Amino acid sequence: MFTLKRGAAALAAAVLVLSALTGIVCGGIPYASAAAAPVIVIDAGHGGIDAGVRGKQSGVKESDINLAIARTLYGKFTDAGFCAVLTRKSQAGLYGLPVKGFKLRDMQKRREIIKDCGADMVISVHQNFYPDGTRRGAQVFFKKGSESGKRLALCVQERLNAMPSAPESAQPLIGDYYMLQCTEAPSVIVECGFLSNAEDERLLLTEEYREDVAYAIFAGAVSYFT
């Protein structure tokens, strides 16, 4: 685990140095014209009246866990010199008024952000739920037919599988999701854990674990670029 962390930190440092040399200043300002810094869109799933799934024990909203992990990821990418863009920055959804058709409007807004900022990579953060409460662990999805998406998914899944708490070595899966259809850039959905599993839920409620998950996703994404 230590070597994994150290390796990824070195890669991130390399990106930072590269960015410094080319005078890139993105610093959290979306859509900056700092073309040399890869633009990473971090998408916290759900929001507002769409809570996503709920923790079986605590009732925690998936949307809140997603946002916490997405914000942490944003900080890691920004610190490493990438141009990071959050689709959702607060607990509110992106649909405008909570009336008929809100879910589609929410998804379309996310797609618009991805297009407008010229994303080089999209990472969508979600949590899983399954009736059988024994299933647990992180699962990464990519778009069918996307070689770059598959490669990114493999990089991220590998890091998530290497976490000490990972239950098994999961393989990335093809997913037929709207968010994966928004761009030709490598794009993944990361289901960080199962809110239907007591252990995953307990872990996801801690800031420390969310930090570890965010680091694993970040390190996987960085290894994709190298």
Q: Which residues bind Zn ion (CB under 5 A)?
A: 45, 52, 126
For residues 216 and 192, what is the distance between their CA atoms, to the nearest angstrom?
10
Amino acid at 75: G
In the β-sheet with 121-128, what is the strand arrangement from edge to edge?
A: 83-86, 39-44, 121-128, 187-194, 139-142, 173-174
Shortest gap between Cβ of 169 and Zn ion (angstroms)? 23
Shortest gap between Cβ of 126 and Zn ion (angstroms)? 3
Shortest gap between Cβ of 52 and Zn ion (angstroms)? 4
Between 65 and 221, name the residue whose CB sits nearer to Zn ion: 65
Q: Compute how many other C-beta atoms are within 10 angstroms of the C-beta atom of residue 86.
A: 19
Shortest gap between Cβ of 28 and Zn ion (angstroms)? 25
- Cite the DSSP H helix spans in 80-192: 102-116, 147-161
Whole-number Cα distances in Å, 7 to 4, 11, 226? 5, 6, 11
Shortest gap between Cβ of 1 and Zn ion (angstroms)? 27
Between 45 and 175, name the residue whose CB sits nearer to Zn ion: 45
For residues 212 and 20, what is the distance between their CA atoms, to the nearest angstrom?
27
Between 62 and 80, name the residue whose CB sits nearer to Zn ion: 62
Between 106 and 212, name the residue whose CB sits nearer to Zn ion: 106
For residues 195 and 184, what is the distance between their CA atoms, to the nearest angstrom?
30
Tokens read off for 96:
């405008």
- The residue with its CB nearest to Zn ion is 126
Burial class (CB in 10 A: 0-12, 13-18, 19+), 207: exposed
Between 50 and 211, name the residue whose CB sits nearer to Zn ion: 50
Residue 79 CB partners (closer than 8 Å, separation 6+):
12, 16
Shortest gap between Cβ of 194 and Zn ion (angstroms)? 12
